[in-house]
Every structure is written in structure tokens, then in C-alpha cells.
A and B are shown apart, each in its own frame.
Chain A
Amino acid sequence: MFNKVLIANRGEIAIRIIRACRELGIQTVAVYSEADRQALHVRYADEAFLLGPAPARDSYLRADKLIAIAKKCDAGAVHPGYGFLAERADFAQACLDEGLAFIGPKPSSIAAMGDKEVARAMVASSGVAVVPGTEGEGSLNDDDLLALAPGIGFPLLVKATAGGGGKGIREVKILDEMPALLHAARREAQASFGDGGVYLEKLVEGARHIEFQILADTHGNVIHLGERECSIQRRHQKLLEESPSPFIGLDDEFRQHMGAVAVRAARAVDYVNAGTIEFLVDKEKNFFFLEMNTRLQVEHPITEMVTGVDIVKEQIRITRGRQIRHTQDEIIFNGWSIECRINAEDPFNDFLPSTGRISHLILPTGPGVRVDTGVYLGFEISAYYDSLISKVIVGGETRGEAVLRMRRALEEYKIVGVRTNIPFHQHLMNSHRFMAAQYDTRFVEERFSMIGADESKEDLSEIAAILATLVTHQQTQRAAQFIQRGERDTSNWKWVSRWERMHR
């Protein structure tokens, strides 16, 4: 049994895993790129080793180096986190071949679920419905896809076979625009995954994205920890999740039915460890299997909030050969939880990524608030890795309390030096449609605006005007004093001209 874990990741998820290890009395080994020497995970871990230059392919994606470091420092296990190598069967296999435990599923399950065509075929054969499409028909060329498209019906989605994280996805409304969109999707898929394969899938309209958290041990026990509602997305990237789903709400029969189907899907691939089954649910409560994520999810904390189960610690116990600590009957859902993903993106400028050094930071805290983050005051947000800087998770007795608590937490959150999407979440928390839980996966892109017209928000224009004027006034006063002093080595006229040239 292992007593030291290498965490093959960075950022908030590396911190999350270190915390679980600490609580279990397990030693931790961090790895880092040249850009991350000062990152929090390096400072929190018991040991830390350099992987290589900043780009992920030279550092966090170097399976050979990760395994060599694990062996050198005598770590008995590797936790991959999410992203990077988390869903690479060859990496999991390489760990096992070197005698390292892999804190995740078996390589064969990762391979089966990672190839979406195989996944759909396996899940469909166990009697779980899948969305109509060309997955499972092998790699088709453009002519074949164009011929098959009308049979599936429009609108449809072109998706990358090796995809994930919203990359290589295009929506097609009519056949005429399909060739160009196919080309774009293939280009993006090739760039992101090194595989230009794509498939078609019917677009389920008014769809909600609801997923079930699964835990499975090596003793044949498989349970679910309820659902997460993940329909608040932009460009197929999740922005906010809540548990339970307001769409399922009090319909516990439907919840247990979906949960049982999720458990069956996990059993179909002989699954072990934590995993997530994603479903698309239409207005009539028909649901279709979307995919299985064979790893820890970004949004796992909301499930921890409502069930009280520490999913990461459970992952480690399962890998150590223990049984899951709870039976399905013992899993009770308490209250409501919401997570907002705080990204370094400017919501007032088309969500363009923002980089910079954090020069001022106050994190929300207080009752019912949890913040998972890997950044701190003075940390530099670089362009090398994804833009997630923290997750704000709140819990409340009811959905109403959770929403109000999240509003309070977001207002407390102060960050300067990098633009974030906190204002987006604040607008969302004030949106009547969100409060009434009237949203689907298209809501953010089609029916939500940062310039909220229907929102009854207090107009603070006058306060903003006073503030901007006071800042301007102070600046002018300072500048005037500065120039009057005449302590400069050159005349003020020369200095002003130099200053102007510099700022041209």
C-alpha cells in the first residue's frame, strides 16, 4: 500500500488533492514547470520536482518524466487530477507497468470511454439510450458525413472524436454551411488533440446537461452521489454548476432512475474509482447518454457539499483496495450547492482571456462558502495554462439561500491585476430566469446579456461618476505638484515631451 502520492497536475486541483492526502496522512510530491516555480502547489507539497519549460507539452504532459520522478522519490501512486494526462489510457498503463498505483480507473476503461464511438456502442448495448448520430460508425470522410447528415436532421453538431472541453465543436443549421464548418472543426481538433476525426450528433433542443457522480470500488460496489446540473455553459465550457438539478428537483423517482442507469453504464465498462456519466435531458425528461468522464471533475465540490462525501479521499481509499465507505441507501442529499468557476476572462470584452499579476486579492469566506484556488496575491496568471483561477462553492439549506449566499460571496470577492468573469456570475445571480431555474444549455449564448435590461438593479451611475471624478482630480493634483517641484534634471517641457513620446 502506498504512502506517498505524486500529483501530476497544477493549479487548484493539485491543491485539492494535496489537502486530501494530508488529511489521510499521505506524503505528497508536486511537479512543476518553469513558469510554476512559485505556484502554491509547489509550496504546499512535501516534495517538488521540476518537469521542464512552461508549455504543457514540455512539462505537465511529459509522461516519461512524471514516471521517472515518481520512481526516484519512491512515490507509490500517481493522481492525475483533471485535464493534462488524466484521460490518457497509455499514461495510466505506463504507471501500472512501472509498479505505480494510478488513482483513477483501469486503463481499459479510460480507453473504452475515451473513444466516444466505442463508449456509445458499449453503453447502448447495456440498454442506455444515446443521442442519434454517426458515432460508432468509424472515421468517416466529409462526403460520407454530408450524405448522412440529412438522415440525422438539422440542427446538428460536428464534434471531435478525440474531443473534450468544447474544442472542435461546430453547430450546423443547414446543409449548405456544413462543408466549411466541417473544415473548421477538423482544423481545431487537429490542433487541440492531434486527431482531425469528427462525427455528427443530433442537437437536442432545449436540452439540459445533467451528470451523475459515480463511485466504484474493486469489490464490485458501484454507487452514485446524485446529479449535477451543468447547463450554464458558454461555447460548451461549463461556467456554473448546481446540485441538485432544479429540473429534477423533488422528483426523486426520476433521480433514482437516472442514477440507476448511470450505475449500469459504469458497470458496462467494468468501472473502478470516481467517474461521471453525462446525460442530455430534453423537456419531456427523455435522457440520452452523452459521455463518461473517467476522472475527477472540476465541479466535484458541489456533490461533496450536498452529500458530505470527500470524493478525493474516497478515490485514494478505493485505489488502496478498500470498499466504498457508504452504500447507496446511506447517501442522503442535504440542501443545495452552487459553484461558480472564476476564470481570467473579461466578460465585458467578449470573454477574452486576461493575463497579469494579481496585485490585490480578498477571497470570500464566512458561513457556507468554500473557495478552491491555486493563486495568491502576487501570483502571475500566464497564458500557458487554462484560465480557471478559482472556484467559489456555496451551500445552503435551499436553492434560494444558496443563490443569495453566492451573491454575497461574489460581492466579497475582490481581485485586481487580472480581469475575471466575476461580474458575469453576479449578473447571472440577479437574472430572473436563473432565479426561476428557467435555463438550458443555450441560455448564456442566446438569452443572456451582460447589459441586462430586464434586471431590476440599482443604478449606481452617479456613484461611479463621483468616484471617477475623484480619481481624476487626485491624479491632476498630484501631477501639478510633481511638475511644480522642478527637481528634475531637465526642464519640465522636455520631460513632458519625452513622456508623451513614450506613451504614443
Chain B
Amino acid sequence: MRYITTIDDREFLIEILDKNHVSVDGVTYQVDYESISEQPAHSLLVDGRSYEANVFQSEKGWEVLLHGMLYLLQVEDEREKRLRAGMGGGPSPTGEYHLRSPMPGLVVSIPVDEGQRVSQGDVLLILESMKMQNELISPRDGTVTRLRVKPGDNVEKKETLLTVS
């Protein structure tokens, strides 16, 4: 199986040859890979060198926390990659953006109103959690179309707070 794995602008062509061999851009490595106790903790031996990392799947792709560095990666198999190229690029930056609560907490204030124009980086909502006030910002320009919470509300993790479209 051949995969194209991307970090920032760097592409790696990775082929899984068998259980213990992969080739990266044509160079073959002996690997041994174990996930620890069914956890996102992984141990990897590459030609005898030992690495341990936490691997998470997020909305942005794979996140690999390795030696204190967080690597964000996209992994696609060749067929997926060709399909996407045929469709002409990734998802467009339009459509609705639902601001979801990154953690449980208390809505302290909402400095925007429904119908208000917002720019990328504007504060949409202030959420208090673990005794800290956190500013949640807009990832892009748009209009606030729907407020689903009000100041004083307790919200759960991943609860939709408001919509920017």
C-alpha cells in the first residue's frame, strides 16, 4: 500500500512493504511498531532506534507529539490523492463555521450580536474554565448568524456555541 504523507509543505511517499518494512521516498527501513495498551501511545523502532510518541486524530489531520514537538500530518493513499486532485482542491473556505466549545465551562460574555460582521481573529465569546477566562476567536471573516448560548450558561465540551457564515 502506498501513501502520501504531508507535513507542512514536505511530502513523503511511504510504502508499507510488509509488517516490518516500509520504504520512505525509495529508502527501505526495518520497522517495528506497537501501540501501547490500546492507547494513543505508540512505540516505534526504526532500524533499531527507539521512538515513543502520542498520536491523535483531529479535525486537521493526524497530530504526532514526539520529543516535545507537535507534528501535524495528512496521510492519504494514492487513490484518495488522485481523486482529490481531480475534484480541484480541498474544501472551500465558505459555508458555515460552527464554534464549538473546546472544553466544559461557563459563558462569561459574548461580545458579538447576531447579524454582526466579524473578521478573522475577532473575539466571538469568552469562556471561563479552570478559573481562567479564555477568548474564543473567529477563524475567518463572516457574519454571526446564530447565537445558541447566552452569558451565564454552562456548556459542555463540543457544544455548538454560535455560527459564523
Q: Does B115 contact A (CB under 8 A)?
A: no
Cβ B67 vs Cβ A471 within 8 A: no
Among the listed stretches A133-141, A267-275, A295-303, A381-389, which one makes contact with chain B, having 4 or more residues with CB under 8 Å of it? Answer: A381-389
Residues on the A chain within 8 Å of B55, using CB? 467-468, 471
Of the candidates B1, B16, B41, B108, the one whose C-beta lies within 8 Å of that of A360 is: B41
A422 to B68, CA, bound (A): 7
Q: Does B42 contact A (CB under 8 A)?
A: yes
Name B70-86 residues within 8 Å CB distance of A: 70-71, 73, 75, 77
Cβ B24 vs Cβ A464 within 8 A: no
Name B27-84 residues within 8 Å CB distance of A: 29, 31, 33, 35-37, 39-42, 44, 46, 51-55, 62, 64-71, 73, 75, 77
Q: Mark A225-251, 1 if CB is under 8 A from B, else 0.
A: 000000000000000000000000000
Q: Does A327 contact B (CB under 8 A)?
A: no
Cβ A464 vs Cβ B39 within 8 A: no
Q: Does A460 contact B (CB under 8 A)?
A: yes
Of the candidates B1, B70, B73, B130, the one whose C-beta lies within 8 Å of that of A423 is: B70
How near does chain A come to B38, taking the closest CB pair, in angstroms? 9
Name A431-484 residues within 8 Å CB distance of B: 457-458, 460-474, 476
Cβ B36 vs Cβ A423 within 8 A: no
- Nearest-neighbor residue (CB-CB) of B16 within chain A: A473
Residues on the A chain within 8 Å of B40, using CB? 360, 416
Cβ A468 vs Cβ B102 within 8 A: no
Residues on the B chain within 8 Å of A348, using CB? 70
Among the listed stretches A8-16, A98-106, A349-357, which one makes contact with chain B, having 4 or more residues with CB under 8 Å of it? Answer: A349-357
A455 to B135, CA, bound (A): 30
A386 to B131, CA, bound (A): 6
Name A10-37 residues within 8 Å CB distance of B: none
Cβ B24 vs Cβ A411 within 8 A: no
Q: Mark A257-284, 1 if CB is under 8 A from B, else 0.
A: 0000000000000000000000000000
Residues on the B chain within 8 Å of A469, using CB? 3, 5, 12, 14, 16, 22, 75
Of the candidates B1, B67, B108, the one whose C-beta lies within 8 Å of that of A458 is: B67
A191 to B10, CA, bound (A): 47
Residue in B33, B39, B53, B130 with the greatest tally of chain A CB atoms within 10 Å:
B130
Cβ A470 vs Cβ B31 within 8 A: yes
Q: Does A427 contact B (CB under 8 A)?
A: yes
- Nearest-neighbor residue (CB-CB) of B76 within chain A: A472
Q: Does A188 contact B (CB under 8 A)?
A: yes
A458 to B131, CA, bound (A): 37
Give chain A's interface secondary structure class. helix
Of the candidates B22, B41, B68, the one whose C-beta lies within 8 Å of that of A414 is: B41
Residues on the A chain within 8 Å of B131, using CB? 165, 192, 385-386
Cβ A472 vs Cβ B75 within 8 A: yes
Cβ B33 vs Cβ A355 within 8 A: no
Name A293-343 residues within 8 Å CB distance of B: none
Q: Does B119 contact A (CB under 8 A)?
A: no
Cβ B36 vs Cβ A460 within 8 A: no
A463 to B67, CA, bound (A): 11
Cβ A467 vs Cβ B22 within 8 A: no
Cβ B133 vs Cβ A353 within 8 A: no
A438 to B94, CA, bound (A): 46
How near does chain B come to A499, taking the closest CB pair, in angstroms? 15
Name B127-141 residues within 8 Å CB distance of A: 129-134
- Contact A467-B44, Cβ < 8 Å, known A354-B103, A414-B52: yes
Cβ B1 vs Cβ A466 within 8 A: no
Q: Mark B74-110, 1 if CB is under 8 A from A, else 0.
A: 0101000000000000000000000000111100100
How near does chain B come to A12, taking the closest CB pair, in angstroms? 15
Cβ B31 vs Cβ A387 within 8 A: no
Q: Does A426 contact B (CB under 8 A)?
A: yes
A360 to B52, CA, bound (A): 13
- Contact A466-B46, Cβ < 8 Å, known A387-B132, A423-B69: yes
Q: Does A365 contact B (CB under 8 A)?
A: no
Q: Does A344 contact B (CB under 8 A)?
A: yes
- Nearest-neighbor residue (CB-CB) of B22 within chain A: A466
Residues on the A chain within 8 Å of B10, using CB? 461
- Nearest-neighbor residue (CB-CB) of B40 within chain A: A416
**16 residue pairs A–B, Cβ–Cβ below 8 Å:** A191-B108, A344-B130, A352-B103, A353-B132, A354-B103, A387-B132, A422-B68, A465-B73, A466-B29, A466-B31, A467-B44, A468-B62, A468-B75, A469-B3, A469-B12, A470-B22
What is A's interface to B at a CB cutoff of 8 Å?
165, 188, 191-192, 344, 348-349, 352-355, 359-360, 382-383, 385-387, 410-411, 414, 416, 422-423, 426-427, 430, 457-458, 460-474, 476
List 10 tightest A-B contacts by C-beta distance, closest first: A426-B68, A464-B71, A353-B130, A360-B39, A468-B62, A464-B64, A472-B75, A387-B130, A465-B5, A423-B68
Given contacts A383-B130, A469-B22, 6 further A-B contacts (CB under 8 A): A353-B129, A423-B68, A462-B12, A466-B46, A467-B42, A471-B55
